[in-house]
Amino acid sequence: MQLNMKLAVIAAAVALAACGKKEEAAPAAAPAAAPAAAEAQVIKIGHVGPTSGAIAHLGKDNENGAKMAVEELNAAGLTINGAPAKFELLAEDDAADPKQGTAAAQKLVDAKVSGVIGHLNSGTTIPASQIYNDAGIPQISPSATNPKYTRQGYAGVFRMVADDVHLGGTLGKYAVETLKAKNVAVIDDRTAYGQGVADEFEKGVAAAGGTVVGREFTNDKATDFNAILTTLKAKKPDVVFFGGMDAVAGPMLKQMKQLGINAKFMGGDGICSSELPKLAGDGMADDQVYCAEAGGVEGEQKEGMDKFRADFKAKFGSDVQVYAPYVYDAVKVMANAMVTANSSDPAKYLPALKATTYKGVTGNIAFDEKGDIKNGALTLMTYKAGARTTLAVIR
């Protein structure tokens, strides 16, 4: 009740009393209204991957990992700086194309996202990283393995998996020491990822005492490999390594069989998908293909990964291809840094992101000074009866 109203009531009561009249007691004041609940703050997180084109199955797999994490974060009822946090996923398609990737990156910057998970390929991740860096937006790639990504001096870039130096080198050593290959042929798709992992594989072969008898290249949209495979067949390789993705590796395996090339076939994480047997058809025999996923869990951590895979299949009706768990963990790691810093402002939560120690479904997550995952694992795999089989987890 305002002060002048109170004075008017008192004056009236005094006048009535003077006239000898009785006045009924004024009703009790209504209780003060409860303070309004704090309005939820919308925190935008971007995700970019190839959800169209030849490897759309891998991009959609990653995007679904992000969706799953965001839904769980919102169900958890987190608060940041005293207000409820509502996370919103802004998903973009880069079609595994560098130009489309930079356009997607700029779109997310313009939308004022607080952070980005992506991209999937090194060839899109690296050029996009400059755009995010210039805007001061942290970026966590779940799967880009080219070493250059974290060696550009950018403060806000992070990688969830081991890089090509570790991956390619380990596979090169495995080809010579375990598969007993003496002569090795190498093919790459001329992308940042494919050429990078092939270069490191070749170094690993040489360091282990093997011989690279031929190096050929194709592109990431090719379907006819007869010319380069015929050239390599004449050199009688024990192993053919392909630096590229599963959409190209599948048809390549078919054509190797047609040409009578009986070599083992190796590749990095790009071919190491659950889709490869479908893409290769009858071109893939048991124990013919060896690959490495740049990540992996073992021991008690395997239980958490197994649960994630089961929950993912129940939710989306499909098996995890490769990197959905790493996207899922990347989203959770970014949100955890915001909660720790009590802010979704990139400049304020970035120090907390750098200092991350987080137990995720992909294992224990912490980053070194460049933004690379500490103690990154590799999972060596082969295929039997059309399904991936784990051979070993190596750190």
Res 39: pLDDT: 86
Boundary of a domain, candidates 245, 276, 292: 292
Please state the domain count of the chain.
2
- Angle, in degrees to the nearest 10, between helices 98-110 and 122-135: 30
Query: What is the pTM for the complete model shown?
Result: 0.84
Between CA 132 and CA 137 the distance in angstroms is 5
Cβ-contact 102, 127 below 8 angstroms: yes
Measuring CA to CA, which residue among 180, 375, 366, 151 is closest to residue 290?
180
The four Cα atoms 372, 376, 380, 383 give a dihedral, to 10 degrees, of -60
Residue 267, domain extent: 163-292
Give, in order, the Cα–Cα distances in Å from 264 to each of 179, 238, 302, 378. 9, 6, 29, 20
Question: Distance (Å, rounded) from C-alpha 296 to C-alpha 181?
Answer: 25
Whether residues 157 and 302 share a domain: the answer is yes
Give the per-residue pLDDT at 31. 53
- Whether the Cβ atoms of residue 308 and residue 175 lie closer than 8 Å to each other: no
Same domain, 141 and 229: no
CB 88 within 8 A of CB 45: yes
**DSSP character at residue 245:** -
Considering the domain architecture, whether residues 93 and 193 belong to the same structural domain is answered as no
Block means of pLDDT (10 residues each) for the chain, length 395 residues? 38 38 45 60 98 96 98 97 97 98 98 98 97 98 96 97 93 96 97 96 97 97 97 98 97 97 96 95 95 88 94 97 96 98 98 97 96 94 94 89
**Domain boundary pick from 273, 292, 311:** 292
Kind of pairing between the strands at 358-360 and 139-141:
unpaired
DSSP E strands: which ranges in the chain?
41-49, 79-80, 83-93, 115-117, 139-141, 157-159, 183-188, 211-217, 239-243, 264-267, 289-293, 358-360, 363-365, 378-384, 387-394
What's the CA dihedral at 29, 31, 33, 34 to 10 degrees? 160
50 within a domain of the structure (yes/no) = yes
Residue 1 within any structural domain of the chain: no
Supply the Cα-derived Rg of the chain in whole angstroms: 29
Q: Domain for residue 381, yes or no?
A: no
Q: Is residue 389 part of a domain?
A: no
**Residues 252 and 185: beta-carbon distance below 8 Å:** no
Residue at 14 is within a domain: no
Instruction: Dig out the tokens for 170 from the structure.
Output: 């380990």
Does residue 20 form part of some domain? no
The answer to whether residue 305 is domain-embedded is: yes
Residues 188, 258, single domain; the answer is yes
Kindly state whether residues 189 and 284 are assigned to the same domain.
yes
Of 235, 266, 292, the position where a domain reaches its end is 292
Same domain, 130 and 207: no
Count the Cβ atoms, other than its own, within 10 Å of residue 198: 27
Q: Do 146 and 181 belong together in one domain?
A: no
In a domain, 390, yes or no: no
The number of C-alpha atoms within 13 Å of 224 and in the hemisphere containing its C-beta is: 1
Distance CA 56, CA 79 (A): 35
CA distance 9 to 186: 96
Shared-domain flag, residues 167 and 287: yes
pLDDT reported for residue 37:
58
Q: What is the spatial distance between Cα 303 and Cα 39, in angstroms, rounded to a whole number?
A: 38
The verdict on 244 and 335 lying in the same domain is: no
Domain CATH code at residue 357: 3.40.50.2300
Asked whether residue 283 falls in the same domain as residue 302, the answer is no
Whether 45 and 124 share a structural domain: yes
End-to-end CA separation in angstroms for the chain: 72
Nearest to 267 by CA among 194, 192, 183: 194
Pair 249, 313 in one domain? no
